[in-house]
Amino acid sequence: MEARPRLLVVVAVLAAAASAAGATSFNVKTYGAKGNGVNDDTKALVTAWKAACAAAGAVTLVLGPGTYYGTLKAASDLKRFGNDWIEFGWVNGLTVAGGVIDGQGAASWPFNKCPVRKDCKVLPTSVLFVNTQNTVVKDVTSVNPKFFHFALLTAKNIHISGVKITAPANSPNTDGIHIERSSGVYIQDTRIATGDDCISVGQGNDNVEVARVQCGPGHGMSVGSLGRYVGEGDVTRVHVRDMTFTGTDNGVRIKTWENSPTKSKAAHMVFENLVMKDVMNPIIIDQKYCPYYNCEHKYVSGVSISDIQFKNVKGTATTPVAVLLKCGVPCQGLVLQDVDLKYKGQGTTQAKCENAKAKYVGYQSPKPCAY
C-alpha cells in the first residue's frame, strides 16, 4: 500500500507542471532529486510537491531531463497496489502534460479473471482522475496497464487530447479511457490501440464528446456496459464523430445487461462520420450483453434506449451482419442515415433487428431490417 501514494505524488509532480506567466518555479533537483534512474527520488519529489502546493499563486514544477526512479514505471508486484496506481483527485485546474506511463501489465494479465468470472478481483488502473474539475490531459503516452489505462470518475470538464494509448490486442480489460459519473468530457486527436474498449462510457455520464480518435486494435467505442448494478445513473448526450476503427471487434456499440436491478436510460446520442476498416460489428446495440458462459435470461434489460443516431458510417465489415440492433424493451427513436458497409467475404452485408424499429434516411447498405 505504500507504493500507491508514492507513485501518485511523484507523477503528479512530473505531469502537473503548469506554465504560467510570473509563476513561482520549483525545480525538483533543488530538493535533491537525481533523475539518474538509479537513486530513489521519492523523498525529494514529495518534498518539492508539498512546497509547491504550499506556495501562493501560480506555480510551475520543473523536472529536468532524466529518469526519476519510481515515477513512471509501475512495480510488477500486485501486492503493492490498491485499485489504482496513479491518482489525481479533488483538484481544480490540473494540467497533466507529456511523459510515458508504463504499467508493466504483462506480468499481471494472467491473474485477471474478470473476462470469465463475475466475482473477480479487479487489477489496478494505471491513472485515475477522481473528483477533478477543469482538467487538461495532453500528449501523454500510456503503455501496458494492468487494467484500464485511464479512468475518469466524477470528473467535471476534462479535456483529453494528443494522448497515445498502447497495449496488445489480447491484453484483458485494458480499456483505453473509461468514463463514469462524469460530465463535460472532451476527447480528441488521440490514438488508442489496446485489448478492450478504446473508449468506454459507463453509467451516470452526461455531455461526452469524442472527435478524431483512431481506434484499433480493441473492442471499439462502447456505451456501457450499463444496467448491471443497483442505482446506476442515466447516460445522456454522447456525441462521437470523425473516428476511424481498424481491425476492431466492434465499431460503435451500446451494451446493457439483462436482469437489471434498477431502471435507467441511455439517450440523445449521435455517432457520425465514422470509418470502419475490417471491423467485425460496425454498428451494434446489444441489450442482452453478458460475457460469461452461464448467463441467466430471465428479464429484459432495465435500461431504456432512445434517440440514437448513426450518420455517415462507411467502410468494411469482417462478418455478414454489419448492423445489429438487439433491444430488450423496444428501442425508441433510432435513426440510421447514409450507412455504407461492405462485407469483406462472399456476399453482401446484412442487418438484424430485435425490438428495434428504426428510421432510415439516405443510402443504406446493408438493407434495412424487414418488419
Question: pLDDT digit string (tens) for 246-278?
Answer: 999 999 999 999 999 999 999 999 999 999 999
The DSSP-derived string for 239-305 is EEES-EEES-SEEEEEEEESS-SS-EEEEEEEEEEEEEEEESEEEEEEEEE--STT---SS--SEEE
Of 21 and 280, the structure prediction assigns the larger pLDDT to: 280
pLDDT, tens digit, for every residue of 179-221?
999 999 999 999 999 999 999 999 999 999 999 999 999 999 9
Q: From 48, 71, 94, give the residue that closes a domain.
A: 71
Looking at the domain assignment, is residue 206 inside a domain? yes
Looking at the domain assignment, is residue 53 inside a domain? yes
pLDDT value at residue 70: 64
As a whole number, mean pLDDT of residues 140-155 equals 97
Of 45 and 327, the structure prediction assigns the larger pLDDT to: 327
As a whole number, mean pLDDT of residues 109-126 equals 90
Looking at the domain assignment, is residue 150 inside a domain? yes
Is the pLDDT at 14 greater than 70, yes or no? no
- Whether 39 and 136 map to the same domain: the answer is no
Q: Which of 226, 232, 124 is nearest to 181 (CA)?
A: 232
As a whole number, mean pLDDT of residues 40-69 equals 82
As a whole number, mean pLDDT of residues 139-150 equals 96
Tell me how far apart the alpha carbons of residues 5 and 13 are, in angstroms, rounded to a whole number.
12
Report the first-to-last Cα separation within the chain, whole angstroms: 58
Is the pLDDT at 340 greater than 50, yes or no? yes
Question: Where would I find the beta strands (DSSP E) of 147-220?
Answer: 150-153, 156-161, 164-166, 177-180, 183-193, 199-201, 206-215
- Whether 50 and 90 map to the same domain: the answer is no
pLDDT value at residue 249: 98
Residue 198: exposure state from Cβ atoms within 10 A (0-12, 13-18, ≥19): buried
Catalytic, 149? Answer no
- Whether 228 and 295 map to the same domain: the answer is yes
pLDDT value at residue 371: 64
The number of residues making up the chain comes to 371
- Whether 158 and 59 map to the same domain: the answer is no
Looking at the domain assignment, is residue 370 inside a domain? no
Q: Which of 333, 214, 211 is nearest to 271 (CA)?
A: 211
- Whether 127 and 18 map to the same domain: the answer is no
In DSSP terms, which residues pair with 326 in a beta bridge? 286, 354
Which has the minimum average pLDDT: 2-6, 113-117, 164-168, 254-258? 2-6
Mean pLDDT, the chain, rounded, equals: 90
- Whether 203 and 339 map to the same domain: the answer is yes
Looking at the domain assignment, is residue 161 inside a domain? yes
Task: Choose the catalytic residue: 219, 239, 268, 297.
Answer: 219
Looking at the domain assignment, is residue 104 inside a domain? yes
Which domain CATH number covers 227? 2.160.20.10
Q: What share of the chain is helix, strand, coil (3-state, %, to 5)?
A: 10, 50, 40
pLDDT value at residue 222: 98
> Cα-flanking dihedrals φ and ψ of residue 91, to 5°?
-140, 145
Looking at the domain assignment, is residue 371 inside a domain? no
* Domain count for the chain: 2
pLDDT value at residue 260: 94
- Whether 64 and 147 map to the same domain: the answer is no
Is the pLDDT at 13 greater than 60, yes or no? no
pLDDT value at residue 58: 80
- Whether 150 and 244 map to the same domain: the answer is yes
Q: From 71, 86, 104, give the residue that closes a domain.
A: 71
pLDDT, tens digit, for every residue of 278-316?
999 999 999 999 888 777 788 899 999 999 999 999 999
> Cα-flanking dihedrals φ and ψ of residue 267, to 5°?
-150, 160
- Whether 194 and 218 map to the same domain: the answer is yes
pLDDT-based confidence at 66, cuts 50/70/90?
confident
Contact 174, 198 (CB under 8 A): no
pLDDT, tens digit, for every residue of 167-179?
999 999 999 999 9
Q: From 55, 71, 87, give the residue that closes a domain.
A: 71
Looking at the domain assignment, is residue 330 inside a domain? yes
Query: Which percentage of the chain shows pLDDT scores above 70?
Result: 92
- Whether 320 and 262 map to the same domain: the answer is yes
What is the residue range of 189's domain? 78-365
DSSP H or E run through 235:
strand 235-241
Is the pLDDT at 110 greater than 60, yes or no? yes
- Whether 194 and 238 map to the same domain: the answer is yes
- Whether 52 and 90 map to the same domain: the answer is no
